[in-house]
Structure 1
Amino acid sequence: MKSIARSLIFALALASTAIMAADPLPVITVKLHPVDLTFPAESVVEAVQQTTIGAQVAGRVLEVRADAGQRVSKGDLLMRIDAREASEAARAADAQYNVAKLNYERHQQLKAQKFVSQAALDKAKADFDAAAANRGAAGASQSHATIVAPMAGIVARRHAEAGDMAMPGTPLFTIYQPGSLRVTASVPQYRLAAMRGVTTARVEFPELGKWVEATAVQVLPTADAATHVSQVRVTLPALPDATPGMFARVHFVTGRADKLTVPASAVLRRGEVAAVYVQLPDNRLSLRQLRLGEAVGQGEIEVLAGLAAGDKVVTDPVKAAIQIQSGK
């Protein structure tokens, strides 16, 4: 398969050399120039400030006021839970409190008349304090039936629907602040020595077609015993289009060197074979097979063989192919 693919590339190169470029094509002149040496690592966007709101009382979800993607302010009503059991428990605790209070007051009077001992009074006081505590806890549980936003942000996910049964600990909403995002990348341990001095990184968002400069790089001082990788946190600038959970690729800058490069968009790939269209001095197009190295800089690929400094590479291979086809 390799020999067939290479033969096809060479055949196309010979055929395309004879084609004259009819219209001006976007070209760049390749030359040695200083570029950043980087190594990429896949990562996931996460929010620096994010919270998951859980149910604290059991009950059926009666009303839902917020949904994923909605911006909320601190204190906004998000959901109401049917907490009749908590309400009944609060009433029972209130009744026990009233009984314990009357009993304690009665024991105070009896103690003043020397009809009961100090131990009996202490027991009545302890019962009164316990009833007061139960009353407060029951009242707090009743208030937990109303779910409000603990901070301003965007609802990332709603975990429950109206009619669902909520139980203590069940997640209801996930809210994050969009102004503070970061990505976490997994770096192999053999790369850690080079990572110690890294302070610069570029983050690529393939889905958005954007590159951003990281504001901070932090290597966490732990490693996973199973995968032997360490986590690296990269802080992002404000990026409204990015959301937690989105895929990103971090390019850590480890140094600089002079390299011969071409834009990644100019490279044609057919299996393991890579090539670019080169514009000759007489404006003819030649398909040149390349041996490529690693990605460097921002959207560039190192050329190990196939080009020389001064060659003019067409940056729009689709347009070049169309011109060749029309010339035929």
Structure 2
Amino acid sequence: MRPRFFYLLLALLASGASLVYPARAENASSRPGLSSAAVELREVDQTYPADAIVEAVRQAIIAAQVTGRIVEARYDAGSRVKAGEVLLRIDPRQTAQAEAGAQAQLANARVAYERSQQLFRQKFISQAALDKAEADFKVATANSRETELQSGFTRVTAPFAGIIAQRLVEPGELAVPGKALLSMFDPKGMRAVASIPQSRLVGIRQTIRARVEFPESGKWVDAIRVEVLPTTDSQTHVARARIYLPENLDGVVPGMYARAHFVTGKVNKLVLPAAAVLRRGEVTAVYVVDDQGQPHLRQVRIGEAANGGVGGVGGVNVPLLEVLAGVAVGEKVALDPVKAGIALKQGSR
């Protein structure tokens, strides 16, 4: 049975891409030249890739501190809130009753203490009796302040400005101390958390540099700081690393999958511009441009992104990819595969 990639290459040929036949010379001279860049051998960062999960630097699970029915939920997941803004309200009647009872006890304790002071001055009671009255008054004062503080907890507020990640309760549910009500995070600061084998720690700690790749979007960002935690897991022998990302990254939210590329040294690699690579299913190829400016489709094998390798094309820096097979140093590749494919199709007519 023929290999699967053979059929994929046939599909490319059907769309006008040729692996063998060059464009006709008469058409090559009439069409504008293709922008190209040379395949180069460069010293780039040697990296160790690791799977990572994005989390917010500042995040919180907000729990209830009093008992009562939830009477209002003002925000849902995805809502932006300001610091101190009321998120939920809990029925205050139970705490109000407790506060009223504590104030009544405080009033009685104050009267009893003042009376004990008078009786002590008249030598009708002992020092021990006066001390007990004073202690009762202090306990009642503390209870009154605590219930007053508890009354304020019926208004659940945002501890900082951010985004509601999840609302875990609905109006009518019973809130009890310790029950999680909401979770939120500050979108300004994000970090990726990855696990590193013990054998890789020495090289990573020497450089403390990394780049983070988001495969779904194709976005790459340089870490502003890398923090390797000082302990390793006793069973798996891996350490956790926190890779801090630039502030206010669009489309990056907690829970996203990412790949962290930790720099461990320098190495020479054959590289080409990432924009030159054409991917169609399982086929990865580039358009090699010959001395006459004619493009030829050629299958290549691509490695990882060349961290630290940025090429200048037309005065603009472009990211580079490691190429493992298919092209040689000095060969030129078209920077716009779509345009090269159209030119090849027109030239083969």
Q: CA RMSD in A?
A: 3.1
* 2:298 pairs with 1:288: yes
Find out whether 1:213 has 2:233 as its counterpart: no
Aligned residue in 1 for 2:59: 50
Any conservation in 1 of the 2:211–2:223 contact (CA below 8 Å)? yes
> Residue 249 of structure 1 aligns with which residue?
259
Paired position in structure 2 for 1:304 = 324
* 1: CA distance, partners of 2:104 / 2:142: 13
TM-score normalised by length of structure 1 = 0.84
Matched residue SS, 1:90: helix
Post-superposition Cα deviations, 1:152-176, rounded to whole Å, max 9, x if no partner, equal 3333333333223221112223343
Shift of 1:192: 1.0
Letter in 2 for 1:162: P
* CA shift for structure 1 position 320: 5.0
Unmatched runs of 5 consecutive residues or more in structure 1: none
Q: Which position in structure 2 is the counterpart of 1:279?
A: 289
Distance in 1 (CA, whole Å) between partners of 2:67 and 2:297 is: 69
Distance 1:15 1:288 in 2: 9
Q: CA contact under 8 A between 1:5 and 1:270: conserved in structure 2?
A: no
Task: Find 2:169's aligned residue among 134, 138, 160.
Answer: 160
- The 1:303–1:151 alpha-carbon spacing in structure 2 relative to 1, beyond 3 Å, is closer
**1:178 counterpart residue number:** 187
User: What residue number does 1:40 align with?
Assistant: 49
1:128 Cα deviation after fit: 1.9
1:193 is the counterpart of 2:212: no
Who is 1:16 aligned against?
A: 19
Percent of aligned pairs sharing the same letter? 46
Alpha-carbon distance between aligned partners in 1 of 2:288 and 2:7, rounded to the nearest angstrom: 17
Structure 1 residues 140-191: Cα deviation after superposition (integer angstroms, max 9, x where no partner)? 1111101222333333333333223221112223343333332222222221
Task: Specify the code of the residue in structure 2 equivalent to 1:56.
Answer: Q
Report the CA distance between 1:9 and its aligned residue: 7.5
Deviation readout 1:189-221 (Å, 9 max, x if unpaired): 221121111232222234454322222122111
Q: Distance in 2 between matches of 1:154 and 1:145?
A: 21
Q: CA deviation at 1:17?
A: 1.1
TM-score, normalised relative to structure 2: 0.79
Q: CA–CA distance in 2 between the matches of 1:134 and 1:57?
A: 15
- The number of residues matched between the two structures is 326
Does the 8 Å contact 2:285/2:300 carry over to 1? yes
Give, as a single letter, the amino acid of the residue that structure 2 aligns with 1:78: L
Say which of 68, 71, 84 aligns to 1:59.
68
Gaps of 5+ in 2: 310-318
CA distance in 1, matches of 2:181, 2:145: 25
The 1:240–1:31 alpha-carbon spacing in structure 2 relative to 1, beyond 3 Å, is closer
CA spacing shift, 1:261–1:107, aligned 2, 3 Å: same
Query: Whole-Å Cα distance in 2 between the matches of residues 146 and 9 of structure 1?
Result: 62
Contact kept, 8 Å, 2:294 with 2:344, in 1: the verdict is: no
Q: CA deviation at 1:322?
A: 6.0
Helix, strand or coil at the partner of 1:233: strand
How many angstroms apart in 2 are the aligned matches of 1:284 and 1:66?
60
- 1:101 aligned partner, one-letter code: R
Equivalent-residue separation in structure 2 for 1:77 and 1:8 (angstroms) = 61
Which residue of structure 1 aligns with residue 333 of structure 2? 313
